Amino acid sequence: MARQAGIRYSTPPNPPPNDGWFQSVPELEYGRWWESLVSYNKGYMKARVYVSPKTTVLDPQGQTIQSALNGMGFRDVASVRQGKFFELTLKQGADPKQAAADVNTMARDVLANPVIEDFRVEFIDD
Amino acid sequence: MKFGVVVFPGSNCDHDAWYAVSHDLGCRAELLWHDDSRLGDVDAVILPGGFSYGDYLRCGAIAKFSPVMSAVKKFAAGGGLVLGICNGFQILAECGLLPGALMRNAGLKFICRPVQLRVETADSPFTSKMTRGQVIVAPIAHGEGCYQAGQRTVDELEAEDRVAFRYVNNPNGSVRDIAGILNRERNVLGMMPHPERATSDFMGSTDGRFLFQSMLAALGTRLQSVR
């Protein structure tokens, strides 16, 4: 994409000095080499926590949304439950097994109140 | 006799409680900062109403991790009197000192008006100056005051005489009209209505004084038995 005026772009670091022991490759010398590092560093593990009111608990917000949707003409909506969604980005090198246990603990003790809410945890690679 | 009133970021009834205790009851009251892990020499703790930590995540969900709450838990475990009003009740429910949880009002609206409460038990340090069946008036001011708990928990509360107050006309959809509950040891009370806003004639009701005078009586006899 062409650079636009008025936007500050971060400048790539200087290419490594070529001290002559390898063949100069223009793609490597000109700004592209560091991008490979960025893509290498990608792959953070993310945890998604879905919190929803228990089915046995009254959800007046969901009911109100449902009646609004029905009122708009979406007659097929039989029920709406409103909940919360959290996306946790884990540090690189986090142990997946430990992370799974930890995120479950976080969801149970902090993100959801088990008296009134259910939760579900899933992991994705970004 | 000294009351401690905990101040969280976002508490807005802390000074009401302080005023009720120090001005209307003539007791000493101290404001306790949420970041302090010591309660000092207070004889009773009040968790005031408001919106601690902006009600982020859930009402009271962040406050339960504040340093002062671990001190309050210890204080309660040692038999100290803890009164949670409104947001204070939500915090007590979140941190497990009281069972159940408080959810969005059934009508989804924030309700701010005086309500009638029926005293359900006089057998507690908070209600000893009232009689069972007495109707008192105190204001409510909450958006999330719908008390919910599993059926077994509510049955247990009723069997153990731990429901302190019920709404005469349920404003928020609370299960079985519950407005305030006690813990098993009966030294922790959580209630959604504001007794501290019903302690002077200009407030429209002085019924809240019954509650504070009950606490004073309980503390007085406790102190005498110690001496």
| Least confident interval from A22-36, A100-114, B52-66, B74-88 | A22-36
pTM, to two decimals = 0.83
Indicate whether A35 belongs to any domain.
no
> CB neighbours of A3 closer than 8 A, spacing ≥ 6?
A9
A66 occurs within a structural domain: yes
Q: Which domains can be identified in chain B, with CATH numbers?
A: 2-226 (3.40.50.880)
Residue B158, pLDDT score: 97
Q: Tell me if A119 is assigned to some domain.
A: yes
Is the Cβ–Cβ distance between B213 and B104 less than 8 Å?
no
Across the beta sheet with B44-47, the strand order is B28-33, B2-7, B44-47, B81-85, B188-191, B178-182, B163-167, B111-119, B135-142
Domain-located, residue A102: yes
Identify whether A78 is part of a domain.
yes
Lowest mean pLDDT of A89-93, B79-83, B121-125, B223-227, name the range: B223-227
**Residue A102 lies in domain:** 45-125
pLDDT of B226 strictly over 80: no
Q: Does residue A84 fall inside a structural domain?
A: yes
Angle, CA B222 vertex, CA B216 and CA B225 arms, to 5°? 140
Q: Read off the pLDDT of each residue in A35-43 and give the average, rounded to a whole number.
A: 51
B148/A57 Cβ within 8 A? yes
Collapse the DSSP code of B82 into the 3-class scheme (helix H, G, I; strand E, B; otherwise coil) and give the result: strand
Q: Does A39 score more than 50 pLDDT?
A: no
Q: Is the pLDDT of residue A8 over 80?
A: no
Could B106 and A60 be called an inter-chain contact, meaning their C-beta atoms sit closer than 8 Å? yes
Task: Classify residue A5: in a domain, yes or no.
Answer: no
* Domain contains A25: no
Q: Could you give the C-alpha distances from B116 to B159, B175, B214, in angstroms and in order?
A: 23, 17, 19
Least trusted range by pLDDT, from A117-126, B55-64, B68-77, B208-217: A117-126
Q: How many CB atoms lie within 10 A of CB B139?
A: 20
Hey, are the CB atoms on B58 and A113 less than 8 Å from each other?
A: yes
Chain B contact set for A113 (CB, 8 A) = 58, 61, 94, 101
> Rounded distance, CA B93 to CA B227, Å?
34
Adjacent-strand bridge partners of A45: A125
What is the model's pLDDT at position B98? 97
In which residue are the tokens 């063949």 written?
A23
- Domains contained in chain A, number: 1
Cα angle, residue A48 at apex, residues A46 and A52 outer, rounded to 5°: 170
Residue among B59, B86, B95, B146 flagged as catalytic: B86
Question: Active site includes B156?
Answer: no
Check whether A13 has a pLDDT greater than 90: no
Position A2 confidence tier, pLDDT thresholds 50, 70, 90: low
Supply the DSSP string of A9-76, one letter for each residue. PPPPPPPPP--SSS---HHIIIIIHHHHHHHHH---EEEEEEEEE-TTS--HHHHHHHHHHHHTT-TT
> Which token pair is A87?
């996306």
Task: State the pLDDT at residue B25.
Answer: 87
C-beta atoms of B149 and A111 within 8 A: no
Q: Is B86 in the active site?
A: yes
Asked if residue B15 has pLDDT above 90, the reply is yes
CATH number at residue A50: 3.30.1280.10
Dist CA A97 CA A47 (whole Å): 12
